[in-house]
Amino acid sequence: MLSPPPFSLPALTPPSLSPSLPPRQSTSFFGCIGQDAFGAELQKCVEEDGVNAYYKEDTEAPTGTCAVLVKDGERSLCANLGAANKFTAEHLASVKAKEMIAEAQMFYVASFFLTVSVESLLEVANHAVEHNKV
């Protein structure tokens, strides 16, 4: 039996960008994880990859998981968003989050955020527009 990986594609994006960027910690990531083994593993992996991750930890929902099926070069994803559905704009109100947003030059937001926290998305988008960022 295979265990699902403790991450989703948005969580993989920062590590995949980091090698093409200057020093470690040049890529940051916001998300929400559960207080479970998958959340701990995800934190460990992004830290090892040099990603500056700042997670909201949810005490009720498990960390999201994603199964990837690959056949003949095509892939299909089946995601359980879990705790990712619990992300809120309040997490962006902390001093650390505000510093991370202020230091960022470019933003990438996963499409599922449109169903999770439009308020968070708009906060980041408005900052990008106001400060001429991508």
- Model pLDDT for residues 72-91, shown as the tens digit of each residue: 999 998 989 999 999 999 99
pTM of the entire predicted model? 0.76
Q: Return all residues near 73 (Cβ < 8 A) that are at least 6 apart.
A: none
Tell me the average pLDDT of the chain. Answer: 83
Taken as a whole, the chain contains a residue count of: 134
Quick one: tokens of 112?
Answer: 């599922």
- Which residues in the chain show pLDDT less than 50? 1-9, 12, 15-16, 18
- pLDDT of 2 reads 37
- pLDDT of 7 reads 42
Q: Return all residues near 89 (Cβ < 8 A) that are at least 6 apart.
A: 117, 119, 120, 123
- Model pLDDT for residues 42-54, shown as the tens digit of each residue: 999 988 888 889 9
Which residues make beta-bridge pairs with 80?
65
- pLDDT of 21 reads 54
- pLDDT of 23 reads 58
Report how far residue 18's alpha carbon sits from residue 29's, in angstroms, rounded to the nearest whole number. Answer: 11
Q: If one looks up domain 9-128 in CATH, what number appears?
A: 3.40.1190.20
